[in-house]
Amino acid sequence: MTTVAFTGMPGSGKTEAVKIAQKQDIKVVRMGDIIWEEVKRRGLRINDDNVGRIASELRVTQGKDICAQRILLKIREDTVVIDGVRSYEEVETFKKRLTDFTLVAIHASPTVRYHRILQRQRPDDATTLEQVKKRDARELAWGIGNVIAMADKMFINEGNLDELRIFVDNVLGKKYNARDKDKKQYLSGKEGEGVERR
């Protein structure tokens, strides 16, 4: 299984990165959907307070990798992009369960991120600068800083969307084109020189 996982602070541009993958018909699973599902199951509204509180609660009561464990149950495809890895434990769980795993960090300065969050108005977004900073502190407490530091690749996303698109296309293209080439060679019985058997 070939997997690229995106991490990054809120507003860094992870969602835009995975949209690029979706346009390439690559399956995307979103870690945050696990929390949204739990919030809805409890009959609560999707907002920053409820999502943050339930996310923290699940990590305490069911383990810091609970979202990774649940997201693995949703993966059926040979190739997948994971949106929103936030803890060291999640990374370790994926590395143990997925044979070909690449972690990609999307980064942007607080000033840029805060502007994006306050402009985009997603249901679970904070609506004031104070709330945005509170969310940052919450995700840092979950260990997202360690995840960003562990990334195999990093992109500073403070330019235009074309620059992000070129970076993501390059990451996905190398991973998935190589996989497709290996698969075709394996099926034809004509593996080329230097191609690793899988």
User: Please, which pLDDT band fits residue 168 given cuts at 50, 70 and 90?
Assistant: very high
DSSP 7-33: E-STTSSHHHHHHHHHHTT-EEEEHHH
pLDDT interval class at 52 (50, 70, 90) = very high
3-state secondary structure of 191: coil
CB 176 within 8 A of CB 26: yes
H-state helical runs in 42-104: 48-62, 66-72, 88-97
pLDDT one-digit tens code per residue, 75-85: 988 889 999 99
Residue 47 identity (one-letter amino acid): N
Alpha-carbon distance of 37 to 13, in angstroms, equals: 23
- Quick count: other Cβ atoms within 10 Å of Cβ 184? 11
Show the domains of the chain with their CATH numbers.
Answer: 2-166+177-188 (3.40.50.300)
Element (H, E) at 138: helix 129-142
Give the mean model confidence (pLDDT) for residues 49-75: 96
Write down the mean pLDDT value for the chain: 88
Between 187 and 24, the more confident residue is 24
pTM (2 d.p.): 0.85
